Structure 1
């Protein structure tokens, strides 16, 4: 079901051409894995950074902000606390609330 209009989606058929001689299950597994990675990255960027809702349309602005969002997301993913591992949203808020957390997220040595 599509969440925006609550209509059932129609199945989509995709065709692939390859010179690799393998069983169909090989292609099925690898193609699904590829799109799973792609979808996971875009979902994270949209949910945590609001990338799809962005109104940036001028010249190189969308590409520039995409680089900034991906860099920030990488920093947030790498930032681990001694007490558990909070969500990306929580880590982002922590960086906004505390200069110490922000500096640590950026990998800067405060000394």
Structure 2
């Protein structure tokens, strides 16, 4: 069980709504990470490896979601980025730096 301290007035309905909204966002993010990166299957346990990979996955997910030039799924965008260097450089914003 988790506890929290809030500065909201005591309103059970509003509090329940805010908690549901928070977990809805968290669940959607987790679902994306699990479906596109198979995060639940990761067996990295030593040192900071699990936390480091989680940060990289979330950053990658953000970059892939931000790209509006492609109409394909996130899974396919990820695959395309692994095959096409120009697309990968576009995603990370490095293409302009290399051609400057």
- TM category (shorter chain) comes to 0.7 to 0.9
Q: Report deviation, 1:29.
A: 1.5
Q: Normalising by structure 2, what TM-score? A: 0.81
Corresponding residue number in structure 2 for 1:89: 75
Q: Over the residues paired in the alignment, what is the CA RMSD in angstroms?
A: 2.2
Q: Distance between the aligned counterparts of 2:59 and 2:6, measured in 1?
A: 34
Q: Normalising by structure 1, what TM-score? A: 0.74
> Which consecutive residues of structure 1, in runs of 5 or more, have no partner in the other structure?
1-13
Higher RCO (CA < 8 A, seq sep 6+): 2
Q: 1:10-33 CA deviation, whole Å, 9 max, x = no partner?
A: xxxx99886643543212211110
> Which consecutive residues of structure 2, in runs of 5 or more, have no partner in the other structure?
none
Compared CA separation, residues 63 and 16, structure 1 to 2 (3 A): closer
Aligned residue pair count: 96
> Larger helix proportion, structure 1 or 2?
2
Runs of 4 or more off by more than 6 Å in structure 1? Answer: 14-17
